[in-house]
Amino acid sequence: MRLSCTVNGMPQQVDDVWEGESLLYVLRERMGLPGSKNACEQGECGSCTVYLDGVPVCACLVAAGQAQGREVGTVEGLAPAGELHPVQQAFLEAGAVQCGFCTPGLLVATDDLVTRSRAEGRKPADAEIREALAGNLCRCTGYEKILDAVRLAADRMAGDPR
């Protein structure tokens, strides 16, 4: 079947999509966007987290056809090519990246959290950060540096250092 949707603001159209495949497969294998990672394929790890109409979801659990006409946002779309989004910069600086496999999903989940908090004119509390990232597993870092990175990103995006 043919699938048309918007990905990172650009209209995309792909043909010969198998009806049973996931949005994750479409992004990685048909659209050349391998940023979203394929790990558990059952919604447990969060490595494939993308925005679907502005809401973070596991791309592995979205049937390709369900994305028809929808807006998809992937980690590749966080910042313009060659630039880093404040969340990405914070992850680098805080040492929140080790093997890097979970990082794309964490970046999208973090972007969602800090964007929502900023819209409400506040910074996320630690408990809120833990809850927001509960669906993203990291087997390297022990999460402390990731929490540092989220706080750093939230500070910067709020415009004042903590």
Partner 1 sequence: MDFLQPATWEEALEAKAAARDAVPIAGGTDVMVGMNFGRLRPSLLLDLTRVPELQQWADDDGAVRLGAGVPYARVISELGDRLPGLAMAARTIGSPQIRNRGTVGGNLATASPAGDAHPALLAADAEVEVASVRGTRRIPVTEFYRGVKRSALADDELIAAVRIVPPRGPQQYSKIGTRNAMVIAVAAFGLALHPDRRAVGTGIGSAAPTPRRAPAAEEFLAGELDGLWDSRAELPAATATRFGEMVAAAAAPIDDVRGTARYRVHALSVMARRALTWAWADYRKGDPTCA
Burial of residue 149 (number of CB atoms within 10 Å: 0-12, 13-18, 19+): buried
Query: Within positions 126 to 155, which residues make up the interface with partner 1, using CB under 8 A?
Result: 131-132, 134-137
CA 80, distance to chain mean position in Å, is: 15
62 binds partner 1 (CB under 8 A): yes
Instruction: Please identify which residue in 39, 61, 140, 158 interacts with partner 1, judged by CB under 8 A.
Output: 61
46 binds partner 1 (CB under 8 A): yes
- Report which residue type is found at 147: L
Instruction: Please identify which residue in 14, 30, 39, 41 interacts with partner 1, judged by CB under 8 A.
Output: 41
Ordered alpha helix ranges (H), 20-141: 23-25, 86-94, 103-119, 126-132
Q: Which residues bind partner 1 (CB under 8 A)?
A: 1, 18-22, 41-44, 46, 49, 55-58, 60-63, 65-66, 68, 109, 131-132, 134-137
